[in-house]
Chain A
């Protein structure tokens, strides 16, 4: 293709930060109106490529070589003013974390209007009208009023929509979306991907989607570029690459993606005694009018050697439940029994440990990992330093870490290794039950697979009871024996994996499963069509209900579910 006619033409792009070569001789072309995905794990250089398209590396100390042309402009040679004119009207970027990507001090509508006015000489009024128009287009209900809200008053999904609206305001030829759905729940993720798809059909803009999630890519793009260590490993049509990968790395990447339709190895072995039993657990946050039950009457039990998956979207109360099981939070009402005996008093329960989501912030950066692993031993009263050290070294070996790294600090480890440290720490005090709160959601898929395999192995060996709290349905399916689906503090579905995934009874479970991205682009299209029909039906039903009165848009109200971030924030306060 003639490079001048293509929307994006990248040739031999190399980006270096000091001695680190983040991007190494990457070349690709994106036709006008096309959709290209950059897929890779963290550190593969995909976001760096995306930033290079807008010339965002200028002035940061990064060394950029090779040629990048976007909409006919040579990014390397463009003046600062030319670059500014390109950013927005030609190529607009949607960032990953929608909360931090908007200015907390200004109304969402004003921020969109500001960007719009940067590129078109219109009055403030007209710019504000434009911002309401685009907010409405991306499905923000009651856009004229919501345009005056500040970002923290929006839910995660709405913020992401607002960022897309900002991009849309400039009518770009190319939309660069950098992990646009990573921070979102599956149902919201599906809505955002459908929105991007619809906008592309409507405006004919090109899309460059940067993602670590192969499923997200399969849903949304025509061509794919698989990246690793700054290089392009494989490229081609998305259907070809995903169904018949040529490169070993692509195969490995695809193999590691947890799938809701994958064949599960049947778990055998006798289940032992009940380790923990919860009866009518309830936990409230706040007082008076603001009181809010994060967990509202949950009963469950876990046996020795069994894994209970707790799945739900943000705000469903799953983390609060996990914390109560460990004793980090005390229930407002309900009973907890450990090994048949009623829980005595308040506070943490001996023999129950927790593995946290973020292996970075859950380890003290100023203590060596060996010391961190030894903490539970010291806490329970062990004093023999030699014995402690020996035990820590054993644990490190057991979770696949080099015991010689006892004295190293968390920042010297990769994300997966840090999570192994977290697991070793949880194992140290020989627990009967480990509650894992989103233990793999911060990890790349290949690392994810390794960590879940480790947990399964430890369980077999030590007969641990595991509670696996996660938002990812596929991961939960892979690791669990039984599953509890949570929504708004309640368990809406509870049963074996085959029951819940095979024949879901609750409509919410069905909705969740329908929103999981499919790896097969054809299947993805089918599901998208199904979701559209469902949304249209729901709208029609609501319109009939309310007799056509001006109610919130269909897409927006479907997001009501992610409104319960409340409990988490209160708990943190």
Chain B
């Protein structure tokens, strides 16, 4: 808090720009970002260790399941050797970490399978590289999450602002009722109804089917529109309520009164002064939701038949394909942590006091 010090000249703007170390020690904006990024790395390490511990210590004979019900004990032993299930856990974990940075070679008994640098292992089931498997699914889930997020932010924040502004009037009551209904409805109900109505009865949209953005952007958006809308409707309700509560709080703040007392128009008071203060919790929640969508958009993916991460994860869990499960959760964790770090930085850009404390 050098802010009110007698020599305030130094307190403005980034001061930690003298390379990494100074940035870390100093308080400035660069230092803040560097610290945040380091936080991401540390969190991921801890996460990987925990995942490894939890999943590989979990009960169940992995070799037996992987080999299949009709394997002989000798075959099971062979699989177990191949998967190095008898090695101590920590050597496998160190191998796993090394794989992430330098890649890994796996012997299949007859040959050698190379797994490239960010290697999360090979699928027990298909010998496919987990990294590759995930990378194939990320665009699908990413498209779904990104589009839904944009929609729910527009819908949710807009509704929230409007109902805070028009509090106590019929507009607000109607909006409150709608958002309540939204929160209370599960995604498969809204999605199903929409799908039957829009795709089935009215035939306005095709039944969703994933088309990569790079193939045909228009078809990509057109096919994803329905999943986006269904997800956004549910999420928007939550955001509307949060924005409304947060707006009511900032609208009651003293600085809002100041601008009212100077004849500033209500529109710019709401839009410029109240909304900006109200956005902090919205940013935080968005980061969480966007991140967790990578692991948790399962219902939506299943309902609309989208080959995303959620479906893959469920499949991997069912067949105890541990490398895939661990990799998936790592990637989901990565997105959650990353999204939160981005939110923190955004928040700091909006409000420099964050950096200082």
Contact = CB atoms under 8 A, between A and B. Distances in A.
Given A102-B258, A104-B255, A84 B1 contact: no
A39 B135 CA distance: 71
B173 interface: no
Contacts of B2: 290, 566
B71 interface: no
A570 B1 contact: yes
B262 A118 contact: yes
Contacts of A148: 12
B357 interface: yes
Contact of A103 (B8, B27, B255): B255
B253 interface: yes
A382 to B, nearest CB: 40
B22 to A, nearest CB: 10
B263 A88 contact: yes
Interface stretch (B105-113, B194-202, B347-355): B347-355
A340 B162 CA distance: 67
A527 interface: no
A153 to B, nearest CB: 5
Contact of A153 (B3, B255, B259): B3
Given A106-B272, A570-B1, 19 more contacts: A83-B263, A84-B264, A87-B261, A87-B263, A92-B262, A93-B262, A97-B254, A101-B254, A104-B353, A115-B259, A118-B262, A150-B353, A152-B4, A153-B4, A166-B258, A289-B26, A290-B2, A563-B5, A565-B1
A209 interface: no
Interface in A273-308: 288-290
A118 B266 CA distance: 12
Given A87-B261, A101-B258, A149-B12, A155 B4 contact: yes
A245 to B, nearest CB: 32
B296 interface: no
A17 to B, nearest CB: 15
Interface in A532-555: none
25 contacts: A84-B263, A87-B260, A87-B262, A93-B261, A95-B254, A95-B257, A95-B258, A102-B258, A105-B273, A105-B276, A105-B277, A114-B259, A118-B263, A118-B264, A150-B353, A152-B4, A152-B352, A152-B356, A153-B3, A153-B4, A564-B5, A565-B1, A565-B4, A566-B5, A573-B357
B25 interface: yes
Contact of B8 (A118, A149, A573): A149
Interface string A555-566: 000001011111
A85 interface: yes
Contacts of A95: 254, 257-258, 261
Nearest to B11: A153
B347 to A, nearest CB: 11
A474 to B, nearest CB: 26
B30 to A, nearest CB: 16
Contacts of B268: 114
Interface in A79-121: 83-88, 92-93, 95, 97, 100-106, 114-115, 118-119
A170 B262 CA distance: 9
A118 B265 contact: yes
A386 interface: no
A7 interface: no
A149 B257 CA distance: 21
A334 B119 CA distance: 58
Contacts of A573: 1, 357
Closest A-B pairs by Cβ, 8 of them: A87-B263, A84-B263, A100-B254, A563-B6, A560-B6, A103-B255, A115-B262, A569-B1
A288 B2 CA distance: 13
Given A105-B351, A115-B259, A566-B2, A100 B253 contact: yes
A56 interface: yes
A152 B3 contact: yes
A416 B215 CA distance: 74
B277 A104 contact: yes
A54 B6 contact: no
B12 A56 contact: no
Nearest to B3: A153
A184 to B, nearest CB: 13
B8 A153 contact: yes
Residue among A87, A104, A155 having the largest count of chain B Cβ atoms under 10 Å: A104
Interface in B241-271: 253-255, 257-265, 268
Interface in B184-233: none
Interface string A155-182: 1000000010010001000000000000
Interface in B317-357: 350-353, 356-357
B352 A150 contact: yes
A171 to B, nearest CB: 13
Interface in B1-23: 1-6, 8, 11-12
B257 A153 contact: no
Contacts of A106: 272-273
B28 to A, nearest CB: 12
A56 B268 CA distance: 17
Contact of B260 (A56, A149, A563, A566): A56
Nearest to B280: A105
B273 A566 contact: no
A150 to B, nearest CB: 6
A83 B263 CA distance: 7
A501 interface: no
A477 to B, nearest CB: 29
A115 B261 CA distance: 10
A85 B265 CA distance: 10
B357 A56 contact: no
A546 B177 CA distance: 68
A149 B259 CA distance: 18
Given A92-B262, A560-B6, A563-B4, A288 B255 contact: no
Contacts of B259: 103, 114-115
Contacts of A569: 1
Residue among B261, B265, B353 having the largest count of chain A Cβ atoms under 10 Å: B261
Contacts of A54: 261
A413 interface: no
Contacts of B272: 106, 114
B262 A105 contact: no
Contacts of B273: 103, 105-106
Contacts of B264: 84, 114-115, 118
B163 to A, nearest CB: 17
Given A101-B258, A103-B273, A86 B4 contact: no
A87 B301 CA distance: 55
A349 B101 CA distance: 56
A406 interface: no
A356 to B, nearest CB: 22
Nearest to B25: A288
A569 B357 CA distance: 9
A154 interface: yes
A102 B255 contact: yes
Nearest to B258: A101
A290 B27 contact: yes
B247 to A, nearest CB: 14
B269 to A, nearest CB: 10
Contact of B262 (A97, A104, A149, A166): A166
Residue among B1, B8, B265 having the largest count of chain A Cβ atoms under 10 Å: B1
A259 to B, nearest CB: 31
A241 B344 CA distance: 57
A472 to B, nearest CB: 22
Nearest to A96: B254
A166 B259 CA distance: 10
A290 B10 CA distance: 12
A262 to B, nearest CB: 34
Contacts of A119: 263
B265 A84 contact: yes
A78 B351 CA distance: 38
Nearest to A568: B1
A146 B264 CA distance: 23
A118 B265 CA distance: 8
